[in-house]
Amino acid sequence: MESIVRFFGSKKGIFAVGIFIGVFAALLQKWGNPVNMGICVACFERDIAGALGLHRAGVVQYIRPEIIGFVLGSLISALIFKEFKSRVGSAPIVRFMLGFFAMVGALVFLGCPWRALLRLCGGDGNAILGLAGMIGGVAIGVYFLKSGYSLGRNRKTYQFVGWIMPLIMIGFLILLVAAPKLPSGALFFSEKGPGAMHAPIIVSLIIGLAIGILAQRSRFCTMGAVRDVVLIRDLHLITGILGLLIGAFVANVVFGQFHPGFVGQPVAHNNHVWNFGGMVLAGLAFALAGGCPGRQLFLSGEGDGDSAVFVIGMIAGAGFAHNFAMASSPKGVGLWGPGAVIAGIIFCIVIGFSMREKI
């Protein structure tokens, strides 16, 4: 047990986790997930929002087992390694709104940091703009962190509270398998488009569980990787990103999934300004909330109720983003997308300036 803990706490360990995620993301694409979207936390939460009827974009509706697996895998790992701890109470409404705007930014770009990396490994040059935007957003977040920004302390709470998010995920799994059709039309499952493209449920679930376990152990975080380099010149987390890039790139080349270019890339647009701007917002919101969307899922699986609120904020944000024309599509940026990104950045900056401990 001790040697497992030591391995996953090391650079070698997190590098191996990155390779695993990269290779299996490419394989998930090969086995049915959308192109350059083997794993995308934001897109997959958006698909879940669609399946539940929180938005009616018919091409992006599916309950993604990977998301369920991430939370439950993290729960399993936290229980095995005695790290499950129910805690809540650190600025929940702020975390909800950060999740909301993180999702809006990600859907203007069309992907979270995980997908930005995977898009790059699939040859999509537009991902460079997204990743540059994310680095810029995280750098702004680091400025606030250095200036004393804090969401305040959480506190330990009743054991059951930490189980709420895992139970919600079990509920999603039951809905996915039972697939009830209610008078309202829900559940909604896409018949065409990215939402209709998915690997078999059991395959997605098992890979999700495996990634949940590995990421909980190694603390894999795409935002934290950039933040730690900028903030304290620490290369530990970014070693995981390097692993992901290498794993996904090599696997994509081997499977014939690497197609370089900017134009006509799958589930992507090439408006450089808003690819960049959307991810500035997402990167900043993730930095202020303390973790990328994957890390928020893993934390919610180990009992962190505040991260669970962030996740719910992201799902709500997805509903709004599609209902209010903020989300982009391969045709381009949505009518209200740019305005929503600007509003989101202003919100984050106000939060960054106003929530400071005196230091």
Q: Which stretch, 107-115, 127-135, 144-152, 264-272, contacts other proteins (CB under 8 A)?
A: 144-152
Instruction: Report if residue 99 touches other proteins, rule: CB under 8 A.
Output: no
Q: With respect to other proteins, which residue has the nearer C-beta, 90 or 265?
A: 90
Instruction: Report if residue 151 touches other proteins, rule: CB under 8 A.
Output: yes
Beta bridge partners of 124: 261
Instruction: Report if residue 309 touches other proteins, rule: CB under 8 A.
Output: no
Q: With respect to other proteins, which residue has the nearer C-beta, 56 or 356?
A: 356
Q: With respect to other proteins, which residue has the nearer C-beta, 93 or 359?
A: 359
Q: Distance between CA 286 and CA 280 in Å, rounded?
A: 10
- DSSP code at position 111: S
Q: Is 301 exposed, middle or buried (0-12, 13-18, 19+ CB in 10 A)?
A: buried
Site residues for other proteins, 4-23, by CB under 8 A, read 9
User: Least distance from C-beta 141 to other proteins, angstroms?
Assistant: 10
Q: Distance between CA 341 and CA 348 in Å, rounded?
A: 10
Q: With respect to other proteins, which residue has the nearer C-beta, 64 or 87?
A: 87
Which uninterrupted H or E stretch holds 87?
strand 87-88
SS3 for 149?
strand
Q: Which stretch, 79-87, 111-119, 174-182, 313-321, contacts other proteins (CB under 8 A)?
A: 79-87
Helices (H), the chain: 2-8, 11-30, 41-51, 65-80, 92-109, 113-121, 126-146, 164-178, 201-218, 222-232, 236-254, 272-289, 293-301, 305-323, 337-354
Q: With respect to other proteins, which residue has the nearer C-beta, 41 or 287?
A: 287
Instruction: Say whether the peptide bond before residue 187 is cis (omega within 30 degrees of 0).
Output: yes
Among 56, 146, 181, 356, binds other proteins (CB under 8 A): 146
C-alpha separations of 221 from 21, 23, 303 in Å: 12, 17, 17
Q: Kindly provide the b/e burial profile for residues 131-159, where b requires at least 16 CB atoms within 10 angstroms of the residue's own CB.
A: bbbbbbbbbbbbebbeeebebeebeeeee
Q: With respect to other proteins, which residue has the nearer C-beta, 12 or 146?
A: 146
Cβ contact 302:240 at 8 Å: no
Q: Which stretch, 115-123, 130-138, 145-153, 185-193, contacts other proteins (CB under 8 A)?
A: 145-153
* Position 107, amino acid: L
Structure tokens given for 272: 């450089």
User: Least distance from C-beta 290 to other proteins, angstroms?
Assistant: 4
Among 77, 86, 90, 300, binds other proteins (CB under 8 A): 90
Instruction: Report if residue 296 touches other proteins, rule: CB under 8 A.
Output: no
SS3 for 333?
coil
User: Least distance from C-beta 234 to other proteins, angstroms?
Assistant: 7
Instruction: Report if residue 145 touches other proteins, rule: CB under 8 A.
Output: yes
Q: Which stretch, 85-93, 184-192, 204-212, 311-319, contacts other proteins (CB under 8 A)?
A: 85-93
Among 12, 156, 181, 356, binds other proteins (CB under 8 A): 156
Q: Distance between CA 356 and CA 198 in Å, rounded?
A: 43
Q: With respect to other proteins, which residue has the nearer C-beta, 216 or 252?
A: 216
Instruction: Report if residue 154 touches other proteins, rule: CB under 8 A.
Output: yes
User: Least distance from C-beta 302 to other proteins, angstroms?
Assistant: 9
In whole angstroms, what separates CA 237 from the centre of its chain? 16
SS3 for 174?
helix
User: Least distance from C-beta 210 to other proteins, angstroms?
Assistant: 20
Site residues for other proteins, 220-249, by CB under 8 A, read 224, 227-228, 231-232, 234, 236
Number of residues that bind other proteins (CB under 8 A): 25
Q: With respect to other proteins, which residue has the nearer C-beta, 150 or 346?
A: 150
Q: Comparing C-alpha atoms, which of 20, 28, 26 is closest to residue 240?
A: 20
The site for other proteins (CB under 8 A) is made up of 9, 83, 85, 87, 90, 145-146, 150-151, 153-156, 219, 224, 227-228, 231-232, 234, 236, 290-291, 306, 359
